Amino acid sequence: MQQFVNVTLGGLSQGAIYAAFALALVLIWRATRIINFAQGSMAMFTTYVALVLIEAGHSYWLAFGAALLGGLVLGAVVERLVIRPVEGGPALNAVIVTLGLFVAFQAIAALLFGSSFESFPAPFGLSGFRVGEFTVAFTPFSAFVIGSVVVVMLGLVALFRFTDVGLRMRASAFNQEVARLLGVRVGGMLTLGWALAAAVGSLAGLLIAGGNLVHPAYMDGVIVYGFVAAVLGGLDSPGGAVVGGLLIGLALSYVSGYLGSELVTLAALAILVAVLLVRPHGLFSRAAERRV
Amino acid sequence: MPDSVTAAARRLLPSSVLGRNLLGVLAGLLVVVVVLELTGPFRNSQFATMSYYAIAAVGLTVLTGLNGQISLGHGALMAVGAYTTGLLLETGAVPFPVAMLAAAAVTALAGVVVGAAAARLHGPYLAGATLALAVGVPGLAIYFDGVFGGEQGLRVSSPRPPDWLADAVYFVTAGDLTSARYLAYIGWITLLAVLLLLANLTASRYGRIWRAVRDDEVAAELAGVRLGRMRVLAFVVSAACAGLGGAVLAMVVRLAAPSGFTIVLSLSLLTAVVVGGLGSLTGALLGSALLVFLPPAVTGLGTDLGLTGTQAAELAPLVYGVVLVVVMLVAPGGVLGAVHRLRHAWTRRRQGARDVGAVGSSKQGG
Amino acid sequence: MATMATTATMAERGPALEVRDLTTRYGPVTALNTVTVRARPGEITAVLGANGAGKTTLLRTISGLVRGSDGSVLLGERDLTRAPAEAIARAGVAHVPEGRGVITELTVEENLRLGDLLGARRADRRYHLADVYDLFPALAERRRREANSLSGGERQMLVIARALLSGPEVLLLDEPSLGLAPRIVARIFGILRDLVDRDGLTVLLVEQNARSALSIADAGFVLNLGRVVAAADARTLAADDELRHAYLGF
């Protein structure tokens, strides 16, 4: 029973991170119909930036902010320079470009920061809260993880629902041509969308790194889990991405806790295939028909 | 003498695709023998490496280039082939050609399973699913470490050249048949056989159907093509190639370990296929050569520029990544596509203005 | 609602929108061939012609969705030739595209807000949200609903309302009657005519339904295979039997 509780709690905080990462994928997918396979590498890169700042003696929070800002800039630059030319082209070309970025960012990170494992600090304690005589696997840092993901999600909802720029971004995502006819600078909105998504991805990268080891490939699994979560929720549905992320977090936590951590990625693959074959629109997508 | 050969070739050329491909492969074999005999053990082992990349890459180009299905999971399929080979050779009872065929068969079987799922997916979905495969499969080897040797992997006992063959080679070339050269021969003969099969396959009815499915699914379906079957078939053929490539890899590297089949391997194969030009077997060969001969070059460049060894080793994946991006932005047809375009532009310019109208009107249909 | 436009003085200033010798090609196909069309301020100008005559291409070239290869587009004194679509929209050309251009994933009010955001940049805007809700009460009732749930007629009202909110100098309408019941077409055209008479709106109306279009238009141009084959005031066009039979289909 205690193990079950612990595995569940661990799954929830991992799931929150996957949810953030899936949300970042969905933001980009909705705006440009591209899955950014480079998102994990980009997040890894900004996390290293934070690590360098921390090792130079700056505070965790300064590094945290710098990484998010770095993600914002990186996302915008990537969209402008290499994604713009393949937007609206054959799907395969865009996929290959993001895969190229995936490899390139990892190599650059290894060049600049080394390819060995380094430990990344956490701003809050990593020992579990005590409930009665038990110590549960829910730490102050887990609370921070879930809290920051919730804050970011509420922020995004507010941005898209209640602000003019959010409305323009949604219009650009849903119907570029009509948006242009209404005077919206669609290109700018797409850049902004990539920037925001990359910042959210960076947050996920930082949260996963907290209290753990980082190396240039540490986000490889997360891109898979985030993708599975996004597909599970329906790639068009931000709410679905969040639920999908939590479900995947829980499911993988159970697999890891009861079967073995080596099987986690394969379990993710099994879930993905099952979802795509049984309910290709995801659990929450409203789209009537979609080619998967 | 050369005149009569070319005359014979010319007589044979138009008669059949099979004949022409066979001739090409024989010529290729000749080149391989000459090159391998004239180069030392280091180059031999580089060529051996190129052969297994190429075997997997030509398989991938059939899938991605001809049939339009992307796979980021071919590294994982190579792992299936490599482990199968390793396990069979470990028994000591199985001759290596049988082990290789078994590896191809087992991987083809895996290809049926993966392909059946993949046949229903497109573009980014397929990429994501096969990415999961690439990241997930090495975990199996660690989980079942009793069979697969865990993180350390399986040592593979590579075949040694039999004495009679070594003697025969010495008799003909007065050179030693070193182990590296022998493995390179195995790799290249396998590659040439695969090329022969694939060249005929792509020129056959199946090749045409695959292209039709890639270009316009709906039209192909209306024409009576059973899309799912054709997609699975493409995947199976491609997987069998990956399995063979994995088998050669296991024998050349003498090891099958999870660290050898990372996502970077899958992405390198994709790079090879994309760089040469999607859908072209020759392009895949060129791309594989790049995978082998580029890393030492850029690594050397890196150390010259003052990078440490581990840093310089990262230059190769950096170049792969940059190449993938740049090729897609600048020349989506790959190197061969760019060459074709240039040649096309050149001949058109030579033909002069009189044909411009014809070119214009031929475009009107689209 | 704001002051009535002084139609008479505006008419003296020449066309509100002028398209001069416009040529547009899709690859080797010439969709528009040296087309000249003028829309006078405070009038409805109809552009008529059969399917494939180049009517939609004309509007898409004016609004910058398609690049013209030759000729020019002038909005009053401003040269909009080959400007990007969003800049043309900001300059005051409101293009309601074929198939209406409702963003179905957004609510009715969000669709309208997009027009409002564009109109907010203009000092001389005539319509605000309350005005268009007065004009189209059906939209007011459904303001929180997703635009997806609207009927065809309501969608047409929504996009016209959205275009009005953007404070247009010229309204480009592409086949507003398409797929709508005659009763609804009559109602929408009636509202359009009222707006033009009351507020001095300038409209360039592309229609295959020539009879209905000419019944509310002041002037008309007839396109055939990418060329202007006739240009006159609406009554003259409607009275020309030969033209009607050859190009207008009624």
Closest chain B residue to C30, measured at CA: B364
Average pLDDT over chain C reads 88
CB B252 within 8 A of CB B48: yes
A175 vs C contacts (CB less than 8 Å): 101, 103
CB-nearest partner of B132 from A91, A102, A228: A228
One-letter amino acid at B218 equals V
- Residue of A63 and A122 predicted with greater confidence: A63
Which of C86, C121, C171 has the highest number of chain A CBs within 10 A, making it the mutation to test binding with A?
Answer: C86
CB-nearest partner of C97 from A171, A174, A178: A178
* C1 domain-assigned: no
Q: Are residues C250 and C175 in the same domain?
A: yes
pLDDT over 60 at B170, yes or no: yes
Closest chain A residue to C110, measured at CA: A167
Closest chain A residue to C121, measured at CA: A183
A177 vs C contacts (CB less than 8 Å): 65, 85, 97, 101
pLDDT over 50 at B332, yes or no: yes
Q: Is C241 on the interface with B (CB under 8 A)?
A: no
Q: Is C28 on the interface with B (CB under 8 A)?
A: yes
How far is B57 from chain A, CA to nearest CA, in Å? 15
Interface touch B321/A101, C-beta < 8 Å: yes
Q: Are residues C214 and C182 in the same domain?
A: yes
Which CATH number do you get for residue C72? 3.40.50.300
Q: Are residues C81 and C175 in the same domain?
A: yes
**Model confidence band, residue B364 (pLDDT cutoffs 50, 70, 90):** very low
Indicate the domain borders of chain B: 10-262
Closest chain C residue to A237, measured at CA: C105
The helix (H) or strand (E) run that includes residue A134 is: strand A134-135
Each residue's pLDDT tens digit, C45-103: 999 988 888 899 999 999 999 988 899 999 988 999 989 999 999 999 999 998 788 99
Each residue's pLDDT tens digit, A238-274: 888 999 999 999 999 999 889 888 888 888 888 888 8
pLDDT over 70 at C5, yes or no: no
DSSP state of C146: B
Q: Are residues C80 and C198 in the same domain?
A: yes
End residue of a domain, out of C168, C191, C224: C168
Average pLDDT over chain A reads 89
CB-nearest partner of C89 from A168, A170, A183: A183
Q: Are residues C176 and C88 in the same domain?
A: yes
* A154 domain-assigned: yes
DSSP string covering B248-260, please?
HHHHHHTEE-GGG
Owner of token pair 């979560």: A229
Each residue's pLDDT tens digit, B193-232: 999 999 888 888 888 888 888 887 778 878 777 878 888 9
SS3 B268: helix
d(CA C134, CA C86): 28
pLDDT over 90 at A197, yes or no: yes
Give me the percent of chain A exceeding a pLDDT of 90: 60
What pTM does this model have?
Answer: 0.84
Q: Are residues C210 and C112 in the same domain?
A: no
Give me the percent of chain C exceeding a pLDDT of 70: 95
A165 vs C contacts (CB less than 8 Å): none
Each residue's pLDDT tens digit, C193-205: 999 999 889 999 9
d(CA C234, CA C19): 19
Residue C63's domain spans which residues? Answer: 14-92+169-250
Interface touch A34/B318, C-beta < 8 Å: no
- Output the pLDDT for position B34: 85
**Model confidence band, residue B347 (pLDDT cutoffs 50, 70, 90):** low
Average pLDDT over chain B reads 82
CB A204 within 8 A of CB A244: no
Side-chain half-sphere CA neighbours of C52 within 13 A: 2
Q: CB neighbours of B308 closer than 8 A, spacing ≥ 6?
A: none
* A233 domain-assigned: no
End residue of a domain, out of C146, C168, C190: C168
Q: Are residues C182 and C235 in the same domain?
A: yes
Residue C14 region by backbone torsions, left for phi larger than 0, else alpha for psi between -120 and 50, else beta? left
d(CA A49, CA A29): 26
- Output the pLDDT for position B1: 46
Burial of B235 (0-12, 13-18, 19+ CB in 10 A): buried
Strands (E), A96-170: 118-119, 130-131, 134-135
* C142 domain-assigned: yes
Q: How many domains does chain A have?
A: 1
Interface touch A186/C104, C-beta < 8 Å: no
d(CA C126, CA C123): 9
One-letter amino acid at C222 equals V
Q: How many domains does chain C have?
A: 2
Strands (E), chain C: 17-26, 29-39, 44-48, 70-75, 78-79, 93-96, 170-174, 203-207, 219-224, 227-233
**Backbone φ, ψ for residue A130 (5° rounding):** -100, 130
B interface with C, Cβ–Cβ below 8 Å: 360-361, 363-364, 366
Count of CB contacts below 8 A, A vs C?
63
**Model confidence band, residue A285 (pLDDT cutoffs 50, 70, 90):** low
Each residue's pLDDT tens digit, A85-106: 988 877 788 888 999 999 999 9
Of A186-200, A262-276, C22-36, the poorest mean pLDDT is in A262-276
Each residue's pLDDT tens digit, B257-274: 888 898 889 988 988 888
CB B318 within 8 A of CB A108: yes
**Model confidence band, residue A36 (pLDDT cutoffs 50, 70, 90):** very high
**Model confidence band, residue C3 (pLDDT cutoffs 50, 70, 90):** very low
Q: Is A271 on the interface with B (CB under 8 A)?
A: no
The helix (H) or strand (E) run that includes residue A250 is: helix A238-258
Q: Are residues C158 and C134 in the same domain?
A: yes
Q: How far is CA C41 from CA A133, B135, B231, B259, C72, in A?
A: 83, 65, 60, 73, 19
How far is C105 from chain A, CA to nearest CA, in Å? 7
Chains that touch B (3 or more CB pairs under 8 A): A, C
Q: CB neighbours of B11 closer than 8 A, spacing ≥ 6?
A: none
pLDDT over 70 at B360, yes or no: no
Q: Are residues C157 and C206 in the same domain?
A: no
CB C50 within 8 A of CB C244: no
Closest chain B residue to A276, measured at CA: B121
End residue of a domain, out of C148, C168, C188: C168
Which of B355, B356, B364 has the highest number of chain C CBs within 10 A, making it the mutation to test binding with C?
Answer: B364
pLDDT over 80 at B38, yes or no: yes
* A235 domain-assigned: no
Among residues A280, A267, A264, A222, the alpha carbon closest in space to that of A23 is found at A222
**Backbone φ, ψ for residue A153 (5° rounding):** -65, -45
Among residues A276, A288, A234, the alpha carbon closest in space to that of A30 is found at A234
* C4 domain-assigned: no
CB-nearest partner of C95 from A167, A179, A181: A181
CB-nearest partner of A224 from B68, B135, B320: B135
Closest chain C residue to A188, measured at CA: C86
Residue A135's domain spans which residues? Answer: 2-216
Closest chain A residue to B126, measured at CA: A292
* A107 domain-assigned: yes
Of A116-130, B93-107, B331-345, C68-82, the poorest mean pLDDT is in B331-345
Q: CB neighbours of B64 closer than 8 A, spacing ≥ 6?
A: A92, B70, B71, B270, B273, B278, B279
Q: Which fold has domain B10-262?
A: ABC transporter involved in vitamin B12 uptake, BtuC (1.10.3470)
* A248 domain-assigned: no
Strands C203-207 and C170-174: parallel
What's the complex ipTM?
Answer: 0.89
The neighbouring-strand residues paired with C73 are C19
Of A172-186, B2-16, B66-80, B152-166, the poorest mean pLDDT is in B2-16
Among residues A265, A215, A225, the alpha carbon closest in space to that of A107 is found at A215
